[in-house]
Structure 1
Amino acid sequence: MKKSILSIISVLFILALFACSSNEEEAEESNESEDTNASEENTEEERTLEHASGEVTIPANPERILAPYLEDSLVALGEEPVAQWAIGESKLDYLQDDLEDVPTIEWDLPLEETLNQEPDLIIFNSPSSLQNGTYEEYEQIAPTYVYEDEVNSNWRDQLTQMGEILNKQDEAEEVLSSFDDKVEEVKANTAEAIGDESVAFVWTLGEEFYLFESTRYGAEVLYDEVGLTQPELVEGLEQEEQWNPISLEKLGELDAEHVFLIGEETEAGFEILDDSSVWQSIPAVENDQVYEMNQPSHWTIDGAIAHEMTLDAVNEALTE
């Protein structure tokens, strides 16, 4: 009997030792797995990117991003900046549904204002945007990325690069794919509604007028991708870095069959055109095919959200 009891105890002891050994092995494997995952996460989170001012290590999951005049790309990728671009009281009105509660910061990022926002990532849209301090001074506040001019000048490249900066490459691709679908929809609708009738885009600011060339803001998408027909006057324009106003007399040569007249309702330019016999003689006015667009902010910036709003406005006006 004693031997039986001893045998049972021995077996139980061996089983206990085996269980302990097994648990230790599982714990070691679990720890190794956690260490591996942590290592992989660190590799994904911290990335060193080249940019216009050298190299920068992008922090892990930045939550306080400061990227003045790049808010369109941020919002398109589901990010909210810690502060938004402004010149005095002016800001990007078309984004205010998303940025209504976001404080403003002056466009040139004064160093003290920048420091007060406590950013963990700063993004400039070009080297020339560093107006109030050196790159090294901003770098002391937070890791700072500066876009190359040629990347920033193309809104698609700018968005793609923002996806790279924020490790949201897939989201950037989805935004561009959705945008391309919108272009095809508007292309089909407008082709059916107006065919090859010519379309022009005129912006009035104060008492001055600006005619969009084929490469200016949303006009590039509308002419090159949607395929709207340019009037001869627009075809003859050359893009200049500094956008110059066009005289009322020259505007009278506009042979467009449809005109989008862009500007706040209170702009003096609307009254000037109403009183101008030169303006009243162009085809679009004579045929009552002038469409007033009184929310101008998305018309004068490049970005996925801005251009989609422009596409929607043109589609609605030309197909209703």
Structure 2
Amino acid sequence: MKKSTRFFSLLTITFTGLLLAGCQNKSTTKTATTRTLTDSMQHKVKVPTHPKRVIGSYLEDYLVSLDIQPVRQWSVKNGTSRQDYLAKYLKDVPLINYDLPYESIAKAKPDLVLVGTSSTVQGGKYAQYNKLAPTYVVKNGDTVSWRTQLMDVAKAVNKTAKAKQVLKKYDQQRAKARKTVQQKAPNQSAAVLWVTNNSAFIVNDHAASGALLYQELGLKEPALVQSISKKATADWSPISLEKLTELDADYIFLVNSDKSAAMFNEPIWQNLKAVKNQKLFSYGPKTSWMYKGPIAYTEMTKSVLKDIQ
């Protein structure tokens, strides 16, 4: 065999070998079944690259917005309370109690469990959950925004690009809504109340619908809301009927879980500024006013735009 022929034969073999090796490397990358991530509690978690059976109790708004249907949905007392505003997305999805019983998780056979609060996995619970399925604790706490949570959930389920699209669309809609609100209700104040069992609660300014009104849409925050929010230890703080006399809000958005509440007949209630001016707007407990996330905030924004004239 001539030297030139041998040279080209060897070159061909070498090139073919490199090509095959490259294909194998690409194939290995494409078919990787797990990724190792560090969650908010510094756990090293080996999560599925493309999870198919996800439990994300109280994180369903994020999951649905990322086109993932969880295999269980958050509830309290066997469904007495659930995120009804997500019903059309979670049709036929079984319930799981908010405290995430081990046996309920085992029965669901998830390939990934997302936990929304660090307290849920305290006392050795994390190790127990992690035995059932890879368990990832999402960023949480009073200083963590819903946007941050969405992106962290997206990282865990390998949907970061989709999450960025969701946020871009939401922020475009929010900017338009904020402009409309400022035009229709300049320098107007608002508050969100929840009435249940003839007791009133007021949302703090950095949680749920409070964050939406003041931070997202730019409505003015009443002094009473500011005062209560500074001391708030939960999203909703109890407020007495007498204390409500200090609520000088132009608009009140009411989450009404007790339509026959005696307090509605009290002179104090009837003399509230928003009530007297017919700027009290009532919503049932099955709406999104108690929650947060891109879907909840989009629905609430539409309600605000409809109510504010």
What's the TM-score, normalizing by structure 2? 0.87
Q: Which residue of the partner structure matches residue 10 of structure 1?
A: none
Give the superposition deviation at 1:276: 1.1
Q: Which whole-Å CA distance do the structure 1 matches of 2:46 and 2:213 have between them? A: 38
Counting matched residue pairs gives 296
Give the superposition deviation at 1:217: 1.1
- The 1:191–1:151 alpha-carbon spacing in structure 2 relative to 1, beyond 3 Å, is closer
> Which of 244, 247, 253 is equivalent to 1:251?
244
Give the superposition deviation at 1:219: 1.4
Q: Which whole-Å CA distance do the structure 2 matches of 1:109 and 1:287 have between them? A: 45
Are positions 1:134 and 2:125 aligned together? yes
Give the superposition deviation at 1:164: 0.9
Q: Which residue of the partner structure matches residue 156 of structure 2?
A: 165
Q: Which residue of the partner structure matches residue 298 of structure 2?
A: 308
CA contact (8 A) 2:203 2:237 kept: no
Give the superposition deviation at 1:57: 0.9
Are positions 1:276 and 2:266 aligned together? yes
RMSD (Å) for aligned C-alpha atoms: 2.6
- The 1:295–1:217 alpha-carbon spacing in structure 2 relative to 1, beyond 3 Å, is same
Q: Which residue of the partner structure matches residue 146 of structure 1?
A: 137
Give the superposition deviation at 1:296: 4.8
> Which of 21, 25, 43 is equivalent to 1:54?
43
Partner of 1:260, secondary structure, is: strand
Give the superposition deviation at 1:234: 1.9
Q: Which residue of the partner structure matches residue 240 of structure 1?
A: 232
Give the superposition deviation at 1:278: 0.9
Q: What residue identity is the alignment partner of 2:90?
A: L
Unaligned runs of 5+ in 2: 1-9
CA contact (8 A) 1:124 1:147 kept: yes
Give the superposition deviation at 1:282: 1.9
CA contact (8 A) 1:68 1:125 kept: yes
Q: Which residue of the partner structure matches residue 6 of structure 2?
A: none
- The 1:152–1:82 alpha-carbon spacing in structure 2 relative to 1, beyond 3 Å, is farther
Q: What residue identity is the alignment partner of 2:174?
A: V
- The 1:70–1:92 alpha-carbon spacing in structure 2 relative to 1, beyond 3 Å, is same
CA contact (8 A) 1:151 1:157 kept: no
The structure with the greater share of residues assigned to helix is: 1
Unaligned runs of 5+ in 1: 1-20
Give the superposition deviation at 1:93: 0.6
Identity %: 30
- The 1:127–1:212 alpha-carbon spacing in structure 2 relative to 1, beyond 3 Å, is closer
Partner of 1:307, secondary structure, is: helix
What's the TM-score, normalizing by structure 1? 0.84
Q: Which whole-Å CA distance do the structure 2 matches of 1:192 and 1:205 have between them? A: 33
Q: What residue identity is the alignment partner of 1:251?
A: L
> Which of 20, 25, 35 is equivalent to 1:36?
25
Q: Which residue of the partner structure matches residue 106 of structure 1?
A: 97
Q: What does the per-residue CA deviation read over 1:15-36, in whole Å, with 9 as the maximum and x for residues that have no partner?
A: xxxxxx9x99998677545423
Q: Which whole-Å CA distance do the structure 1 matches of 2:143 and 2:99 have between them? A: 17
Partner of 1:162, secondary structure, is: helix
In the TM superposition, structure 1's runs of 4+ consecutive aligned residues that sit over 6 Å from their partners are 23-30
Are positions 1:198 and 2:186 aligned together? no
Partner of 2:96, secondary structure, is: strand
Partner of 1:149, secondary structure, is: coil
Give the superposition deviation at 1:317: 0.8
Paired residues for 1:65-76 under 5 Å = 65-76=54-65
